[in-house]
Structure 1
């Protein structure tokens, strides 16, 4: 194991695979998620998902059921408990059901796929999420995206629109980030076709293959982008836009993928960025230093580039003795994200000045 981790290897420090999968699957609002394992796995994740939803002004409760395995199930097998839980799930009249495994049931060898394969009138889709046998939060996200995509039809009529793929549903500001990407896409005349997966219903997946381009939340989702490209022929952009220059490059990249002339859109965005930066003229010339929110994120070249770019744009001096301002993680999305970052910097600079 490396003793000096970098952001590229930080996934080793990520959390539960099951939680990652649930952050995706529970966003199919007319589905029920059955967690096959002890009740504690469900209780922990229900509490986390509910608290996160409330913090984003979304009071809906996640539709979770547990097989609530006990010692005898672990000794003799839990497939009967899964059958019983699926009957309870069907009583809720879902449009689809996702069955998520836990570490213990993968260890004892329950044949979850065979139980899910039985005809019950609605699709019952297994999602492997046993992190104990290998995998982290990010693994769960990818496995869930692939599982939800399996419900989409094999082909769809193409429209000049974009899908947002793999949003970070547990991050604060997830909807603000989506709104920023949508704002940028509108400069190119592209509406958002589908947020895959956030706040959708099972039948919405019929549109998954209809977009002209897929926008991945981050490069780590490249395998999902490739899968959808092979299935539908849809090109993909590997990440949401970050930073000032990166936002303009994003517009150019989307335009190339869709055959759209981006010259006017990029000029408009640069003017928009200039106007945003003018709002922070009051901190021009201040002395600052960048402070990482966590030791393993120090030296992230993308974040360093964005912070340095903004400092240069505002004539800020980078000084070891300057005011400590946060290096954002994840990087700010679009011009709007940069503006929110600079607002936090201004608050800290002003507070230091008053002190």
Structure 2
């Protein structure tokens, strides 16, 4: 249990575990998510998710139910309320192909055996997902626990195909689909397709394909525990992050090629030529003076973001100068060459006051 009140204990300020898990599990289209706890926990997360998906031009409403625990349930236990809510979910329309039960801080504190209730024969998979942040979890913990829970729907594949899984995409991130499209473009240079976006816009049965890929590509290094979990379950090797930066994108191609037994030399040369052509569109920035700063005054500069930005500045002939135009460091890091193009367009707006290219 995390009881340290000091502001230096950053886990207290890193987001709700429940929200992290729901950002993943609500992307299983034919599933219902049950939030086992007071109705306020569900209301808060429904409002957040609904506002976010609307901002990303999606009109689907997340299928959430609450066990609506009352004071009596908290005193005497909420397992009966959970049983009734699962039964209610099973007769909802359309009927769910799977159900995920997410525990809140209060039910973990009072000791409800959520896993035992979920393990009963309900007719469809009913999976308990530990999401009680009060007992030590944060937003990223919820994402990792949710991914591992969906992975339990899959079994080792009889045959592995030359394809990749995208694991742990940031579903609340603006541009998530553009980032996936950039990964698909890069993989196509190697003759590798996308097997599964795990988890984004899939059906329950799609999770069964999880073990059929030759490589898992994690969204970011914080998901390495998930990569190790999938390696144990399905023997699938992984790349620990999406590509970032000019040289980082080429290294990504080399690493995926090595894992999949594909010669990446031609793909790398093609990508370098593609990057050079992209950079040529921003030649008007050459000679400009810029100064890179953290995107938030309370945060220290990210060394990785500084490295990516400095690399692009050098490639374009920009001068990094404390008196130059203030350029916010990118967060999160731009994905691939397409992400760098979008970043450089923002630079141009700041430096020249106009955007093109």
1:57 CA displacement: 1.5
Matches within 5 A, 1:200-349: 200-295=202-297, 297-349=299-351
> How far apart are the structure 2 equivalents of 1:121 and 1:307?
53
1:154 CA displacement: 3.2
> How far apart are the structure 2 equivalents of 1:35 and 1:23?
13
Distance 1:156 1:28, change over 3 A: farther
| Matched length | 349
Are 1:156 and 1:206, in contact at CA under 8 Å, matched by a contact in 2? no
Are 2:156 and 2:212, in contact at CA under 8 Å, matched by a contact in 1? no
Partner residue, 2:35:
35
Distance 1:60 1:291, change over 3 A: same
Task: Indicate yes or no: 2:163 matched with 1:155.
Answer: no
Distance 1:73 1:4, change over 3 A: closer
> How far apart are the structure 2 equivalents of 1:144 and 1:50?
19
> How far apart are the structure 2 equivalents of 1:315 and 1:10?
38
> How far apart are the structure 2 equivalents of 1:229 and 1:351?
48
> How far apart are the structure 2 equivalents of 1:155 and 1:11?
37
CA RMSD of aligned residues (A): 1.7
Give the secondary structure class of the aligned counterpart of 1:335: helix
Partner residue, 2:59:
59
Partner residue, 1:164:
166
Matches within 5 A, 1:344-355: 344-351=346-353
Give the secondary structure class of the aligned counterpart of 1:69: coil
Partner residue, 1:87:
87
> How far apart are the structure 2 equivalents of 1:189 and 1:4?
49
> How far apart are the structure 2 equivalents of 1:274 and 1:348?
22
Partner residue, 1:127:
129
> How far apart are the structure 1 equivalents of 2:347 and 2:5?
33
Q: Deviations over 1:288-323 (max 9, x none)?
A: 111211245423221111010011011111111111
Are 1:17 and 1:129, in contact at CA under 8 Å, matched by a contact in 2? yes
Partner residue, 2:113:
111
Give the secondary structure class of the aligned counterpart of 1:195: strand
Give the secondary structure class of the aligned counterpart of 1:161: strand
Task: Provide structure 2 residue ranges, at least 5 long, that are not aligned to the other structure.
Answer: none
1:162 CA displacement: 0.4
Give the secondary structure class of the aligned counterpart of 2:343: helix
What is the TM-score when the length of structure 1 is the normalising length?
0.95
Give the secondary structure class of the aligned counterpart of 2:179: helix
Give the secondary structure class of the aligned counterpart of 1:135: coil
Q: Which of 124, 138, 158 does residue 140 from structure 2 map onto?
A: 138
Q: Deviations over 1:25-67 (max 9, x none)?
A: 1111000000001111111111111111111111100010001
> How far apart are the structure 2 equivalents of 1:328 and 1:3?
29
Task: Provide structure 1 residue ranges, at least 5 long, that are not aligned to the other structure.
Answer: none
Are 1:10 and 1:296, in contact at CA under 8 Å, matched by a contact in 2? no
Are 1:255 and 1:261, in contact at CA under 8 Å, matched by a contact in 2? yes
